[in-house]
């Protein structure tokens, strides 16, 4: 499912290639394919291109936004970060990798919610985090 049909993010700040599954207001699955041409690899780091951890967290948040905005009662809203907890980065993500994304919503209300996410490459955890978000009008 094309993320551009649901979330407002666009290049160069769109960090989901495809959404493969959502379970209504519960969880979502997707991935980001990294070609090596992404803007951040040029400077992070020229001798050893590595995806910044904060962008892995952003990819998970974008997938979470997709899950939330897929529900019509949140149409016209924009999920914004309210906080990031317990973020851990376990392995490097490099050009050519497919970053598999999984998010779970743990609490949801009319003004925001919480969730958690795990990003993996070849079955190995690259990033895991808990997130808090608020919903605002677009």
Residue positions annotated with a catalytic role? 44
Contact 28, 64 (CB under 8 A): yes
Compute the Cα dihedral for 37, 38, 44, 49 and give only its sign.
Answer: negative
Residue labelled with tokens 């490459």 = 121
For residues 75 and 138, what is the distance between their CA atoms, to the nearest angstrom?
10
């Amino acid at each position: 499912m094309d993320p551009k049909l649901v979330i407002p993010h666009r290049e160069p700040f769109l960090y989901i290639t495809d959404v493969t599954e959502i379970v209504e207001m519960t969880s979502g699955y997707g991935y980001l394919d990294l070609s090596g041409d992404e803007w951040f690899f040029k400077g992070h780091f020229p001798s050893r291109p590595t995806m910044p951890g904060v962008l892995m967290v952003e990819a998970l948040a974008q997938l979470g936004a997709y899950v939330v905005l897929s529900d019509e009662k949140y149409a016209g809203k924009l999920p914004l970060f309210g906080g990031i907890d317990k973020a851990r980065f376990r392995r490097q993500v490099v050009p050519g990798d497919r970053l598999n994304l999984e998010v779970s919503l743990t609490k949801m209300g009319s003004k925001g919610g919480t969730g958690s996410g795990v990003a993996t490459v070849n079955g190995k955890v690259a990033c895991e985090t808990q997130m808090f978000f608020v919903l605002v009008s677009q």
